[in-house]
Structure 1
Amino acid sequence: MTYIRSSTTTIQGIPGSTGSRTEFAMLVTFHSKPEYREELEKLLREDVLEARKEEGNLYMQLYRAKDNPYTCFLFERWKDQGALDAHFEKPYTKAVLELCNKALTAPMAIMFLNDLTPISPVHYQRLPKDAGKATDLVVVFSVKEGEQERFVRQFQDSAQYSRSEPGCVAFHVHAVKDASNTFVLYERWESREALDAHFEQPYTEALFTLFEEVLEQPVEECLNYITWVI
């Protein structure tokens, strides 16, 4: 199996894109066959632990879908394309790719992401007080053509308030390279109660009103609740 280069991480024409910044994020999805689930997760754990030691890695976490034990996600951040290229030459990464040739029900899906509300990399390492109580979710939005700028501006406004909530650990919204209508939100909260409180905020309610107007499908179909593995 080969991997996909990010090519460039600059997304032109999207308000708040990272411009000339070379760092980028990735969301990688694995759908494993039942008989390979444990072996794949073991290799992914090793990949994450070793990747965190690499100079070019800013962040790497492994998650499992709450409603499907055979679906895993890697959320990664890299300093630049060279750092990612070096990562794919590591033996522990090659071991994952080799297993994926036979262990997956579909090819692994890679989304290259640009932060629309970038913050200092030091905040990427922020952890919840109790990982066992934390609530994580990934939301993949498909936005109607012509509504992208409106969607982005509303999210940029919401992000500054969401990040200041006492229960917020992470709140990152991204544009997806080569998919101008697709956006990815990653959130981490101290608890389900903190997330519920977030849903009650006026800026969040304004977002949900926007969703009804600009999304291709109901927002409930976009939500992916995930469990942190390592």
Structure 2
Amino acid sequence: MLTQLIKFTVKPQHQQAVKDALVDSKKGTRHELGNINMNIFVDNANPNVFYAYERWQDAAALAFHQQQSYTQNLLRLLSNALVCTPEVFNLQDTKPEPVVIKAADHEDALFTIIFIFPIHSEFRQPLLTQFEDHIQHSRQEEGNLLFDLYTVQDDDNTLVVYEHWRKESDVWDIHFNQPYAKITGAIMEQAVVGDMQQYMHFVSEINE
């Protein structure tokens, strides 16, 4: 299994074209046998920032995807549309392993967070240990749809949390007030380099 998170920051004049190309790529990717999952998001605070979350059966599946016409069209567009080189995070599963997202209800507002944060190296193992407990409890919360933690290949000092909630208040009013979340938060305050808030990206999925 291969998992990637890719961040694209585009020039404002290319925003709609990139969005359309990402949607076309997602539609085509659905028919690829080697693709496990692909989600496209736009940053709620900056419409020029997009994220692609992708899971692949293996390296051959990703190589096949990169040769498809819709992928090549996207790459040609991005060659002139980007503000900077895409940020590619090759993600590695932690324990407990990622699970299939729970189904949202029609009335759910949906609140998604992509949290990419650097840590002081001495806190890596304590955080991984605490998150094992944290994730199991989080997934049992009524408001949680998905909660996964990843390490980053070739970067021991960065972690990525990928989480979906039914609504925003499920995070701020309920989740962060749980005893286990307070323990995690206390460790995070020491472990994360700088202010945690700057690394939390609130995003909306593009489903067109």
TM range (shorter): over 0.9
Q: Which residue of 41, 44, 47 maps to 1:66? A: 44
> Is 2:8 the partner of 1:30?
yes
> Partner amino acid for 1:80?
D
Larger helix fraction of residues? 2
2:187 aligned with 1:204, yes or no?
A: no
Structure 1 residue 118, shift from structure 2 partner: 4.6
Instruction: Answer whether contact 2:38 2:52 (CA < 8 A) is retained.
Output: yes
What's the % identity of the aligned pairs? 25
Equivalent pairs counted in the alignment come to 206
User: How far apart in 1 are the matches of 2:98 and 2:121?
Assistant: 31
TM-score (norm 1): 0.86
Q: What is the match of residue 199 of structure 2?
A: 222
Residue among 14, 24, 35 paired with 1:57: 35
Preserved contact between residue 24 and residue 115 of structure 1 (Cα < 8 Å): no
Please report how far the alpha carbon of residue 212 of structure 1 lies from its aligned counterpart in structure 2 after TM superposition.
Answer: 1.2
- 1:98 matched to 2:84: no
Would you say the 8 A contact 1:130–1:190 is kept in 2? no
What RMSD, in angstroms, separates the aligned Cα atoms of the two structures?
Answer: 1.4
Question: Which residue in the other structure is 1:133 paired with?
Answer: 109
Q: Say if 1:108 and 1:195 are closer, same or farther in 2 by CA, change over 3 A.
A: same
Residue 105 of structure 1 aligns to a residue whose secondary structure is coil
| TM-score of the two chains, using structure 2 as the length reference | 0.95
- 1:162 and 2:146 equivalent? no
Does 2:55 align with 1:77? yes
Structure 1, gaps ≥5 residues long: 1-22
Partners of 1:43 and 1:95 within 8 A in 2: yes
* SS across alignment from 1:64: strand
Closer, same or farther: CA 66–132 of 1 in aligned 2, 3 Å: farther
Q: 1:174 and 2:150 equivalent?
A: yes
